[in-house]
Amino acid sequence: MSNVAIITGGGSGLGQAAALRMAQEGVHIAVVDVKEASALETVELVKEKGVEAIAVTADVSKKEEVKKYVDQTMEHFGRIDYFFNNAGISGSGGYFLETEPEEIEQIVGINLLGAMYGVRYVAEVMINNGGGAIVNTSSSAGVIGQDSVVTYSATKHGIVGLTKSMVAEYAKDGLRVNAIAPGPTETPMVKEFYEANPEMKENAAGGIPQKRLGTPEEVAELVTFLLTSPAQYINGEVIRIDGGFTNTK
């Protein structure tokens, strides 16, 4: 049977782009998103590539819903080979001392706890079946400090720690875990953030040596390589894909 991938946040942006790119490699996809309509849209696009796909609606900040998407993937496909642990939110963009505790809890719940729950349940299945590959979505804000996104940045730094520590514990069991650190990228989430904070888009693009934002398709190429490539000795890396943005910091 073909390999199977779970992609969280698969209804749009990086998740949808990765689903479509991995489908080109013949990978069957479980599309996980909090929005059912978005997940179903990606499923239809993936099926047009000639592979099988299912949609699972889940709020990743709830561990029982994370376990549900893992269980439903196993029930349908019988295996999990790849995991793009991607779901996340950016927050309002306000300064930290102006941020309500409820927003802090929401961002941490989705970005960090959601990612940790995902790795917890998916890695368990992978190791029991001889191994697998995981890519976690960090951010440029996960490798440097950035203003207006303190909570987001803290969660994305946490993703780096999760990635490296999982390799320290479980590489011997056939698990590969890497992280990507995208810079500002033209996803719906980023577009919404910049619409609410227009001055930040100008500042971001101006600070990128390539003088443009990245595209989801460019990130999807990296994700697909890290998950499916025969280059199996890449493990525990945090790979920046940001047009040189963090290189200048």
Catalytic residues: 152
Rounded Cα–Cα distance for residues 80 and 2 (Å): 10
Distance, CA of 26 to chain centre? 20
Rounded Cα–Cα distance for residues 41 and 167 (Å): 34
Rounded Cα–Cα distance for residues 12 and 21 (Å): 13
Rounded Cα–Cα distance for residues 193 and 203 (Å): 13
Rounded Cα–Cα distance for residues 210 and 108 (Å): 31
Rounded Cα–Cα distance for residues 177 and 170 (Å): 9
Q: Provide the 10 A C-beta neighbour count for residue 209.
A: 11
- Per the CB < 8 A criterion, the answer to whether 93 and 148 are in contact is yes
Rounded Cα–Cα distance for residues 50 and 239 (Å): 30
Burial of 239 from C-beta contacts in 10 A (0-12 / 13-18 / 19+)? middle
